Structures are given as C-alpha cells and as structure tokens.
Structure 1
Amino acid sequence: MKKLLTFIFSAVICPLAITGCGEKELSIGTAFNPSMYHSFGEQMKKNMENAKGLKYSVTVLPTAGSVENVRMINDNRIQLALIQNDVSYEAYHSTGSFKGEQPLRNFVAVAGLYTEACHIVVRADSNIHKVSDLLGKAISLGTFNSGTEKNAKEIL
C-alpha cells in the first residue's frame, strides 16, 4: 500500500505541481537518515526522476522531522515536506508545539499518505508495564523539532 501511495504521490501529483509553477529544482524535507520518512522521500525522488519528460533535480533533505519541515515549507526553504497531520494542524492554528507563535499558513496538504501510530518500546526484562512506570526513568523523546518529540511530550 505504501509503495502504491508513494508512486501515486510522486508520479502524478508532484509533477503536476512542479510543471505548473515552472520549477527546475525540488527539495523534499523528510526526517533523519535512516528513518521511514527519509526512505519514503528517497523513493519519491526515484519515482519523480524516472517520470518521462520531466527535467528537474530532486533533493531529499534529512531534517529533524515534522515540526522543522512545516517551518521550512512555510518559509519557502523547501517545496515538499512529509509532515504529520497533527503537526500541520498545530502549525496552522498556532497551538501545541507552535503555541505563542504566529500561525504558519504558507502551505497546503496534498495527501494523507498513511496513518501513524505512536509506540512506546521497552526491554522485555524491564519492570515497565504502563506509561506511569516511566516516571523517574531516562527516556528518549526523539529528535528535537520532530513529530516524535511532540507526540512523546503529549503522551508523557
């Protein structure tokens, strides 16, 4: 399913957007490398570069993730970005990670590619069985300015 969505997005939607505005270069904000967002961006790049008749260069940028990506696309530093739905909502409405900031409105959603789930993973031999068991433990919140960090803070 993800391969089909990647193909449809990169082979149909992106070329229409690019040819419509005459761009010769395209930058895609993803997430750190290696990550699923970055792999997704690399596959989009391959599909777009293999599209017949289109002449442009595609750069896949490793970034912190969704929070940084929505800021970069809003500031016209990139043309496409992979952004979690909840992050784009917060940026647009100046809530959550963007509370106290001016709303970011210089972007549009093209497609919802897939549903994301949050996972909390611990060692099988740990004494952690529920979220409250994390109290007082050293944990990773994810990359600064990522959707993972935002979701971890919401859960905790």
Structure 2
Amino acid sequence: MKKRSFFLGTALMIVLSLILAACGGEKTGSGKPKFISIATGGTGGTYYPLGGTFAKLIQDETGIETNAITSGASAENMASLKKKKVEIAFTQSDIASYATKGELMFKDNKVENVQGIGTLYPETIQIVTTKDSGISSVADLKGKVVSVGEAGSGTLANAEQILEVYGMKTDDLKARNLSFDDSVQGIQDGTIDAAFITSGTPTGAVEGLGAQVEISIVPLDDDKISDLIKKYPYYAKDEIKKGTYGLEDPVTTVAVRAMLVVRDDLSEDTVYKITKAIYEHTDKITHAKGEYIKAENALNGMGIKLHPGAKKYFDEKGIKQK
C-alpha cells in the first residue's frame, strides 16, 4: 500500500511539473515565456503598424514568439492586461494613469497588475474634418454630427476634456462613437461632419481620407490649451506640421504620450530583454513616429510605476524618471 502511494505521489508531482512548464514561465523570477501578444489598436491607427515592428524586434532579439493583435486601443488594452489576455500593450499615458488609479472609465475597474516599459511619441489630438464642412473652430462643432471616439476609449476622454474647456459637452453635438476607420469613412461619405482622433501623426486612416477629399484639422486656441493643461497636466501643447495630410499651414493642438505597458508578472529578465530589444534598435522602425522613439525620452510622461526589468535597462543607460 505504501509503495502504491509512493508511485501515486510521484506521478502527481510529474503531472504538476508538466502543467507548470506549460504555463510558459511568465511569473516574476521564472524563465522566459514561449509566446507574447502585444495589444495594439485598429488597423487605421499608429499602434498597429508599430506593434508589428516591435513584435519582430522582440522575437528576433529574445527568441520569444511574439505577435501584434488588433484591438479597441488604450482603454480596452488596459482591461485586457488586467484579464491576462495579453502580456504587453500600447496605451495613452492619460489612460494608463486613469487605469492604475481607478479613475474615470476605470472607477469601478481599477487595474493593479500593470507597469510601464517606456513612453514612445506624442499622441496628437486631431479634430478632423473637410475644407468644405464649414467647421473652422471647436465652437463650430455644436449641433454637428461628430465622432468622439469609441465608448470607453482614450479618444472619448480627450474629446470630453477639450469640449469641457470650451464650455461644451458631447450632448451639444450629435455625437457618434466610432473607430478611426469608421470615422474617416463617415467623413468621406458625408454621414458625419468631423471626428476626434487621438493618434500619432501621420495617422494611416486620415492619410487615406486625404487621398479622397481635402482635409482640414480644427485648431485649438492657446488660452484653451493653457486651461486644459492646468486641469489635466498629462497634456502638452503640440503642432501638426505643415504638409501633413496636405495641410497648407501648421495646426496648433495638444497631445498625450503613447506608451508601452506590461503585466507585472513577467519576469525582470524578460522585460529587460524586451525593453532593450525595442530601444536599442529604433533605427529599424520605419514608421514616421520612429524619429520620436528614443531611450533618452522613454521616461518622459511616465505616469505609472516602471517595471523592474525596464528600470534595470534605463538605469544601465543612465536615464532617470523625471
């Protein structure tokens, strides 16, 4: 009987070890995972093409099979990390702050298992319309059919905050909750008048629209920008350059920062190698936003706790969080 119990116990231990091995070793301090998913955004935005580049860099440099998947972007990505559906995600710095502090759309769904890898580039708030729309100011949006971003998205939060400093609400518009792709399609076919789009410029979906119609970007007034930054300090003044989308003049607006975040249960060694794979090979980033992605800027606007693996990399480079 004792012999039978011994063999039964040994068998159970073997089965348990196989199960643990199959989990990919993602817990802190364990071996590297076999597979990583990066949550990006829609195909018409900036996250998706950059995510594909990052996935290749990570796979080439670490040997971890990595893929980039489409998603509803910032807010959805934070929720996916919380549910452990993905390991890494793109998000806006403001959304990361809301999520980890349990504010706004995360008031009842605080995200406590996410830490930062690094910030990437300005996420420009673009109020896109056409030259024929007659919309030249935020005030002109009143009563118009306007896409303010998908429900629960970072774009929607940006739209609400910008409208707020202008003394308006989404109720003052005929608001629609559309993706970037559906927004520009709506502008093109005339079913909507304008759209808020928060994305690195140039944004693929907006470039596609510019090939069909003459685009106009609604500027923000300097005094309203000051009011916005005073109340929501994660914003910064930004400018869409002349020539972008065929614009004849630069357009003044605001931006948050795009960033990469990671689940805190990935090991220090794994995240160190991921961080190094991205920031040591920025010369391989062909997207226009690649010029902004630099290790020396990666802790600017980092509004959440840095993962120990990322911290190790930036400490080695002598880069400190401001």
TM-score, reference length from structure 1: 0.78
Residues 80-95 of structure 1 mapped to structure 2, 5 A cutoff: 80-95=88-103
Partner residue in 1 for 2:106: 98
State which of 105, 111, 135 in structure 2 corresponds to 1:128: 135
User: 1:23 and 2:33 equivalent?
Assistant: yes
Gaps of 5+ in 1: 1-16
Local SS of the residue matching 1:119: strand
**What one-letter code is carried by the residue in structure 2 that aligns with 1:131?**
V
Offset, 1:120: 0.8
* CA–CA distance in structure 1, aligned partners of residues 133 and 157 of structure 2: 25
Larger radius of gyration: 2
Offset, 1:129: 1.8
Per-residue Cα deviation, 1:41-93 (whole angstroms, up to 9, x for no partner): 00101212222xx3322121100000000111122111000010000101111
| C-alpha distance 34-121 of structure 1, shift in aligned 2 (>3 A) | closer
Residues 139-150 of structure 1 mapped to structure 2, 5 A cutoff: 139-150=146-157
| C-alpha distance 36-20 of structure 1, shift in aligned 2 (>3 A) | farther
Offset, 1:21: 4.3
| % identical equivalent positions | 28
RMSD (CA atoms): 2.1
Residues 102-121 of structure 1 mapped to structure 2, 5 A cutoff: 102-121=109-128
| C-alpha distance 127-48 of structure 1, shift in aligned 2 (>3 A) | same
**What one-letter code is carried by the residue in structure 1 that aligns with 2:116?**
A
**What one-letter code is carried by the residue in structure 1 that aligns with 2:85?**
R
Partner residue in 1 for 2:79: 71
* CA–CA distance in structure 1, aligned partners of residues 30 and 40 of structure 2: 23
The structure carrying a bigger strand percent of its residues is 2
Offset, 1:125: 2.2
| C-alpha distance 115-20 of structure 1, shift in aligned 2 (>3 A) | farther
Partner residue in 1 for 2:69: 61
Per-residue Cα deviation, 1:89-136 (whole angstroms, up to 9, x for no partner): 01111212223x142111001101112221112211222121121111
Please list every run of at least 4 consecutive aligned residues from structure 1 whose deviation after the TM superposition is greater than 4 angstroms. 17-21
| C-alpha distance 68-102 of structure 1, shift in aligned 2 (>3 A) | closer
Offset, 1:19: 9.4
* CA–CA distance in structure 2, aligned partners of residues 58 and 18 of structure 1: 19
Per-residue Cα deviation, 1:14-46 (whole angstroms, up to 9, x for no partner): xxx999642000000000113210011001012
* CA–CA distance in structure 1, aligned partners of residues 132 and 103 of structure 2: 38
| C-alpha distance 31-88 of structure 1, shift in aligned 2 (>3 A) | same
Residues 36-55 of structure 1 mapped to structure 2, 5 A cutoff: 36-51=46-61, 54-55=62-63
Local SS of the residue matching 1:122: strand
**What one-letter code is carried by the residue in structure 2 that aligns with 1:151?**
N
